[in-house]
Chain A
Amino acid sequence: MLLPYVLVGAILFVLGMIGFITRRNLIVMFLCTEMMFQGIIVNLVAFGRYPLNGVPTFDGQVFAVFLIAVAAVEAALGLALVVLLYRNKETLDAGAWKLLKDE
């Protein structure tokens, strides 16, 4: 039963990646990175539950706990940056920042 979980995790990751590439709203792009994290979490727990030697461990779940902590930090910093960028240009369009300099 490992492979169906891995496939679902892979599809979640790929959907997040497609959203990150194609959407232009900064907030939706950040949501898509969180979606990629979800795919990874499913994979980590599945690999911990169905290891090759047949003895399940909790290391995958511990790894996922750290992943959640990192995701929380990333969301806090990312959203703070989004707020700062929005105050500067009054837009959430990622394309508005492609020059990376003051006009």
Chain B
Amino acid sequence: MPGIASWVERSVRAAGEWNLNGMSTLLVIFLVLGATGLFLALPGTRGGWRPVGMALLVAAGILLVFVLADFALGRELPIWFGGCALVALFAATRVITHTKPVYSALYFVLLIVAVTGLLLLMSAEFLAAALVIVYAGAILVTYLFVIMLAQQARLAPYDARAREPFVGCVAGFVLLAIIAAQLLVAPSGVGAEPTVEEAAGTVEAVGTLLLTDYIIAIQLAGLLLLAGMVGAIAIARRQAADSTPQNGGVD
């Protein structure tokens, strides 16, 4: 019990401290706008309110630029970072608010491209290329195949209404508020620019590390991919109980 009491006391004191530097109010407004906008923009019965939700999300996006500028600790935010971050978050919002799964998948490709931009800004070149090839090239094509296999022609009832949008938005943004508050009280040394001139994450740099320090792990990753492939084939070829056998009744 005294542990909890002292924890509450410390939390209250920390809240009072970070309330003083003026950026927390901005952050709180951003969180409230984002949560309200997302709640209204999620597919549901509140049809007429969706444009309002979108407008609130756009306002939250504009606020986010100032929040991010505050988080840069006085250094100037590169304009490419702001652009990539806003495009990524716009695409992410559309993925979860769009009622047509095909469009969700296509917006996810836009999200991948924006995240690739963020990785390039951190000079992770090999990872950026791998992300585009694996995600936009392979995983998303698989998703589109499945969507086209299983999607109904008209809007399905389970796409038209979200499940518990209020609870979801509150839970998500409370988590985000906790993370952001912890970032605000980060000690001054955290997130400083590298003292050593950083090298680019080229194939050579990352590959050398992969094949020396992480050689066991990469063998295990190969094994995992093999097991996943065998498992996926085994699952997908299994016939449903009441369907007629295909492929000559293989099972």
Contacts and interface: CB of A to CB of B under 8 A. Distances in A.
B58 interface: no
B13 interface: no
Contacts of B183: 3, 6-7, 10
Given A71-B139, A86-B149, A92-B150, A11 B176 contact: yes
Contacts of A92: 150-151, 156, 158
Contact of B112 (A38, A75, A93, A94): A38
Interface string B67-107: 11001110101000100010011001101100001001100
Interface residues of A, number: 73
A51 B41 CA distance: 38
Contacts of B158: 24-25, 91-95
Given A34-B139, A58-B206, A77-B231, A70 B224 contact: yes
B115 A42 contact: yes
A83 B180 CA distance: 39
Given A30-B143, A65-B210, A58 B89 contact: no
B175 A17 contact: yes
A30 B135 CA distance: 13
A88 B162 CA distance: 23
A4 B68 contact: yes
Interface string A81-97: 11110111001111100
B167 A21 contact: yes
Interface of A: 1-8, 10-12, 14-19, 21-25, 27-28, 30-32, 34-35, 38, 41-42, 45-46, 49-52, 54-56, 58-59, 61-62, 64-66, 68-77, 79-84, 86-88, 91-95, 102
B211 to A, nearest CB: 10
A84 B236 contact: yes
A88 B138 CA distance: 26
B127 A76 contact: no
A55 B101 CA distance: 43
The 10 A-B residue pairs with the shortest CB-CB distance in the complex, in nearest-first order: A2-B191, A19-B96, A73-B228, A54-B195, A93-B158, A21-B168, A18-B172, A22-B168, A80-B235, A87-B240
A65 B211 CA distance: 13
Nearest to B157: A93
B72 A55 contact: no
A26 to B, nearest CB: 9
A3 B72 contact: yes
B96 A23 contact: yes
A64 to B, nearest CB: 6
B150 A27 contact: yes
Interface in B153-197: 156-159, 161-165, 167-169, 171-173, 175-176, 179-180, 183, 186, 189-196
A35 B95 contact: yes
Contact of A68 (B111, B135, B161): B135
Contact of B115 (A2, A28, A38, A61): A38
Interface in B30-83: 38, 42, 64, 67-68, 71-73, 75, 77, 81
Contact of B179 (A10, A81, A88): A10
